[in-house]
C-alpha cells in the first residue's frame, strides 16, 4: 500500500512504476475514482449533517412545519441510504485498485521486462574448481542411491513435487537449518518459530494478496483460493515473512526497538501454480520446504534501510561462504521484482546438474509498503508517529540448498562429504554413504 498523498502529488512516477513492473493498473483511472469517492463522501457527510441539524430542531417544531420537516427527513434518510450503498460499491472497487498500485523502484534497479533483465553484480567462488569428480551425478541419483531421498513415495502420498528426506538426508537438512539459525542468533537476531497459518489480513498486509492467491494453500471447510474466507479459515504461509512481519500489526513501536532483527524458522508451502512442466525433476521446485527468513523493521530512512539490506544479504552470503558453495548476486529488474519491492537482489548458487546458477536466496526492501497495510508505526525522537520500513531476506532454504550440497560435495564412490561447518550438528560425521 502506498502513500495516497504522494500518489496524488506524483501520479506520473507511479504510472511509470506500474508500467515498468508490469502491473495492470491505471493510475489516471484510479485518481478519477479517488476524486469521485471523496466527492461522494463529502456529499454524504453534508447530508448527514443536514439530517442531524433537522433532528435537533424537531422538538421545537409544531403543526405543518413539523409535518413538512418529518417528510423531508424521511426523504433525506432514503437518499442517505442510497448514497451509502453507492459509496460502499465505489470503495470496494477503489480498494481493489489501491492494493494493486506498486511502489516506485529505487534508481539503482535495472529496467527490464523479466528475469532476462536482471544484472549480475557479484560472484564468489569458482564453479569449475568446486566439483572434483570426473563423472558427476545429479542430486536425485545421489540421494536415491544413498537412500536419503525418496521422491516416488513422496509423489505417491502427496502428488507431484513431493518428496521424503530420510536418514542422513533429513539430518543434513536439519544441520543446515540449525547452522544458519545459530549464525544469526550469535549476531543478536531473535529467533521466531511462528504460526504456519495466517489470516487474509496478514497475507494482504505483507503484499502477497492480491497477486499470489493461486500460489497459496487455503485451509478450512469453505476455503477457496483467492477469496477472503471466514475468520476460522486460514492460509498456509509461503514464507515466515508473513507471520513475523505481521507480529507487530496495529502497533506503535518505540524508536529504541528499531531496527528489529528477527529470524523466522518455519516450514513453508507453495502451490507452484503456473509452473507445469518446469523444474519437474528433483528438489528445485517443491510444494513444501524449510526456510530461515530474516525480517527487519527499521526507521523510515532509505539510507538506514539500505544499510540493513547490506547486512541481511551479507548474513546469507556468509552462510554460503562457510559452506564453500559458489554463488552470484543479481540486481533484480523492474519487471521481475514484484509490486511492493523498492529494491531487490537474488543470490543464485551454482548447481552442477543444471550447469548453471539457481536461485536460492532473495533479499528485498519494501519501504513503508507493508507497514501501511499492517499499520505498523514507530514514534520518532520528536514524538511523531511514522510508518516503519521493512526488509526481508532468505538466510537459507531447503531442500533447494541440498542440490548444490549433494552435487558439489559428491565423491567418486557416490558418497557425499559433509561440509566441515555442519559436522558438529551431525555428531562429527564426515560422510554420507
- Catalytic annotation, pick one of 270, 313, 339, 373: 270
Length of the chain as a residue count: 433
Nearest alpha-carbon partner for 296 in 227, 328, 340, 248: 248
Residue 234, number of CB atoms within 10 A of its CB:
21
Q: Does residue 246 carry a catalytic annotation?
A: no
Residue 359's contacts (CB-CB under 8 Å, 6 or more residues apart) are 346, 347, 348
- Catalytic annotation, pick one of 266, 353, 362, 398: 362
**Cell numbers at residue 377, please?**
508505526
**How far is 308 from 285, CA to CA, in rounded Å?**
29
Distinct helix (H) and strand (E) counts, the chain: 14, 18
Q: Does residue 57 carry a catalytic annotation?
A: no
Q: Cα 153 from chain centroid?
A: 31
Q: Does residue 354 carry a catalytic annotation?
A: no
Phi–psi pair at 244, nearest 5 degrees: -70, -40
Q: Does residue 310 carry a catalytic annotation?
A: no
- Catalytic annotation, pick one of 10, 178, 285, 354: 285
Q: Does residue 261 carry a catalytic annotation?
A: no
- Catalytic annotation, pick one of 261, 348, 400, 407: 400
- Catalytic annotation, pick one of 50, 213, 318, 359: 359
E-assigned strand segments in 93-189: 119-124, 149-150, 164-165
Nearest alpha-carbon partner for 235 in 249, 224, 248: 224
**How far is 73 from 56, CA to CA, in rounded Å?**
12
Please answer whether residues 217 and 271 qualify as being in contact, where contact means their C-beta atoms are separated by less than 8 angstroms.
yes
Looking at the annotation, which residues are catalytic? Answer: 270, 285, 359, 362, 400
Amino acid at each position: 500500500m502506498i502513500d495516497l498523498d504522494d500518489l496524488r502529488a506524483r501520479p506520473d512516477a507511479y504510472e511509470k512504476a506500474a508500467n515498468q513492473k508490469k502491473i495492470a493498473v491505471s493510475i489516471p483511472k484510479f485518481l478519477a475514482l479517488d476524486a469521485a469517492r471523496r466527492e461522494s463522501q463529502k456529499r454524504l457527510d453534508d447530508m448527514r449533517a443536514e439530517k442531524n441539524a433537522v433532528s435537533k430542531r424537531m422538538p421545537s417544531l409544531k403543526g405543518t412545519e413539523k409535518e413538512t420537516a418529518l417528510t423531508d427527513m424521511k426523504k433525506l434518510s432514503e437518499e442517505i441510504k442510497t448514497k451509502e450503498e453507492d459509496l460502499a460499491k465505489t470503495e470496494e472497487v477503489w480498494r481493489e485498485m489501491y492494493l494493486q498500485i506498486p511502489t516506485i523502484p529505487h534508481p539503482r534497479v535495472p529496467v527490464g521486462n523479466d528475469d532476462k533483465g536482471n544484472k549480475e553484480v557479484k560472484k564468489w567462488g569458482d564453479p569449475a574448481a568446486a566439483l572434483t569428480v570426473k563423472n558427476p551425478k545429479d542430486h536425485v541419483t545421489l540421494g536415491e542411491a544413498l537412500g536419503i531421498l525418496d521422491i516416488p513415495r513422496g509423489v505417491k502420498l502427496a502428488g507431484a513435487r513431493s518428496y521424503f528426506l530420510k536418514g542422513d538426508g533429513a539430518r543434513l537438512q536439519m544441520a543446515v537449518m540449525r547452522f544458519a539459525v545459530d549464525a544469526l542468533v550469535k549476531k543478536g537476531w531473535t529467533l521466531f518459530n511462528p504460526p504456519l497459518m495466517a489470516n487474509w489480513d496478514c497475507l494482504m498486509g505483507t503484499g502477497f494478496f492480491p497477486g499470489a492467491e493461486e500460489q497459496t494453500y487455503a485451509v478450512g471447510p469453505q476455503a477457496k483460493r483467492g477469496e477472503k474466507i471466514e475468520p476460522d479459515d486460514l492460509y498456509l504461509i509461503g514464507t515466515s515473512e508473513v507471520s513475523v512481519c505481521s507480529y507487530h500489526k496495529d502497533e506503535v513501536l518505540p524508536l529504541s526497538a528499531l531496527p528489529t532483527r528477527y529470524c523466522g524458522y518455519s516450514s513453508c508451502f507453495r502451490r507452484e501454480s503456473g509452473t507445469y512442466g518446469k523444474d519437474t525433476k528433483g528438489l528445485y521446485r517443491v510444494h513444501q520446504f524449510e526456510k530461515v527468513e530474516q525480517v527487519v523493521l527499521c526507521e523510515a530512512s532509505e539510507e538506514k534501510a539500505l544499510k540493513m539490506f547490506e547486512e541481511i544479504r551479507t548474513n546469507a552470503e556468509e552462510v554460503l561462504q562457510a559452506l564453500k558453495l559458489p554463488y552470484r548476486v543479481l540486481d533484480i529488474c523492474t519487471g521481475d521484482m514484484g509490486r511492493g519491492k523498492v529494491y531487490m537482489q537474488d543470490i543464485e548458487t551454482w548447481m552442477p546438474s543444471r550447469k548453471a546458477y539457481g536461485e536460492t536466496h532473495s533479499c528485498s526492501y519494501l519501504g513503508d509498503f507493508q507497514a501501511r497495510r499492517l499499520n505498523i508505526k514507530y514514534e520518532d525522537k520528536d514524538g511523531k508517529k511514522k510508518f516503519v520500513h521493512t526488509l526481508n531476506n532468505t538466510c537459507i532454504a531447503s531442500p533447494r540448498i541440498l542440490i548444490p550440497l549433494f552435487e558439489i560435495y559428491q565423491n567418486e564412490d557416490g558418497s557425499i562429504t559433509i561440509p566441515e561447518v555442519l559436522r558438529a550438528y551431525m555428531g562429527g560425521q564426515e560422510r554420507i554413504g
